[in-house]
Amino acid sequence: MIQVFANPHRFMAFSKAAQPWLYGLAGLMIAYSLWQAFYVVAPELYQGDSARILFIHVPAAWLAMATYAGMAVASFVWFIWRHELADTAAKALAPIGAAYTAICLYTGAIWGKPTWGTWWQWDDARMVSVLVLFFMYLGYMAIRAAMDTRQKAARAGAIIAMVGAINVPIIKFSVDIWASLHQPASVVRLDGPTMDPSYLYPLLIGALGHTLLMTALVFTGMRTDVMTRRADALLLRQATT
């Protein structure tokens, strides 16, 4: 596997073959979980139909965090070994992670309105952490976009992703103890472990489907990027000869 990702040619071959399968499988699994969500599972005891949004909200939340971790690892690999593909991967991961983060925030907010009576709750550690994560994605993408050249974008992106990644645990910790101080008692929440299996399995399958979709999207992004770079290299060579 490492061989595949170390070598652009092998990566292009592998991703070309894998892409259709990934998209297909992801589509099926997500479709299954949504079908379950909207037509099969019973309305939730306390929250009624609004709880069905969980099947989008929770996978989005998980992927928002997993994608940042992936981006940080890719940045680290690029910074140490200067593997161009690692930077390509980090670049492709960022907008996808930002999109999932936005979906998580958005679904959370429209879920919060009927359940808590408010769009936004500063006392909830998870909400606040996700918001901060969203800003970190935006910062990463903005700094890359602001650089004049690809090489500079890679360097700046790697610096900010690594600094961000080592700060994430501290931010999470601080937000957690802060929220634990004034946790309002009125909040109704579902508890993960006690979740009903009729909810849990479609949720897990949906989450897996989104993971595959994310992988497929990253592959697509990376492929475009590799091809753009080849075209640039060609143009540069033509310009000088």
Partner 1 sequence: MADALLSATDLAAARGERLLFRDVSLSVCAGEALILRGANGAGKTTLLRILAGLTRAEAGEVSRPQPIHWIAHRTGLKPHETPRQHLALWAKAWGAEADVDSALKAAGLARPADVPARLLSAGQRQRTALARLKLQDRPVWLVDEPFSALDVDARAKLEADIIAHRSSGGAVVAAIHGEPGFAPSGEVRL
Partner 2 sequence: MTNPAPLSSAFRQALTEAWAGGAGAFLPVGFFAGAAMLVPFGIGQGNEQLAAIGPGILWVALALSSLVTMERLFQADLEDGALDLWIQTDAPLSAVAAAKTLAHWIAAGLPLALITPLLGLMLQVPPADLLPASAAYGVGGLAFFLWGGVGAALTAQVRRGGLLIALIALPLYVPTAIFGAMTLQSDAAGMPPEALYLGASTLFALAVAPFAMAAALKLAAD
Looking at the chain, list the stretches that DSSP marks H as alpha helix, in order from N- to C-terminal side: 2-6, 8-35, 54-81, 84-116, 125-146, 150-181, 197-240
For residue 118, which phi and psi values (nearest 5 degrees)?
-150, 145
Q: Which of 190, 204, 208, 220 binds ligand HEM (CB under 6 A)?
A: 190
Tell whether residue 149 is a contact of partner 1 (CB under 8 A).
Answer: yes
d(CA 50, CA 101): 20
Tell whether residue 57 is a contact of ligand HEM (CB under 6 A).
Answer: yes
| Nearest-5° Cα angle at 212, 211 to 217 | 100
Contact assessment for residue 94 and residue 130, using Cβ atoms and an 8 Å cutoff: no
Q: Which of 12, 56, 61, 86 binds ligand HEM (CB under 6 A)?
A: 61
The CB-of-124 to partner 2 minimum distance in angstroms stands at 11
Tell whether residue 135 is a contact of partner 2 (CB under 8 A).
Answer: yes
d(CA 39, CA 202): 12
Whose CB is nearest to ligand HEM?
108
Q: Which of 114, 180, 232, 234 binds partner 1 (CB under 8 A)?
A: 232
221's CB contacts (< 8 A; 6+ apart) are 91, 92, 93, 95, 96
Tell whether residue 227 is a contact of partner 1 (CB under 8 A).
Answer: no
Q: Which is nearer to partner 1, 16 or 230 (CB)?
A: 230
Give the x/- contact pattern for ligand HEM in 119-158, rule: CB under 6 A: -------xx--x----------------------------
Tell whether residue 145 is a contact of partner 1 (CB under 8 A).
Answer: no
The CB-of-115 to partner 2 minimum distance in angstroms stands at 15
Distance (Å) of CA 233 to CA 9, 226, 229, 239: 15, 11, 6, 10
Count of residues in contact with partner 2, rule CB under 8 A: 35
Tell whether residue 110 is a contact of partner 2 (CB under 8 A).
Answer: no
For residue 175, which phi and psi values (nearest 5 degrees)?
-65, -35
Residue owning tokens 């901060």: 132
Which residues contact ligand HEM by CB under 6 A? 54, 57-58, 61-62, 104-105, 108-109, 111-112, 115-116, 126-127, 130, 189-190, 192
**Interface ranges with partner 1 (CB under 8 A):** 148-149, 151, 232, 235-236, 239-240
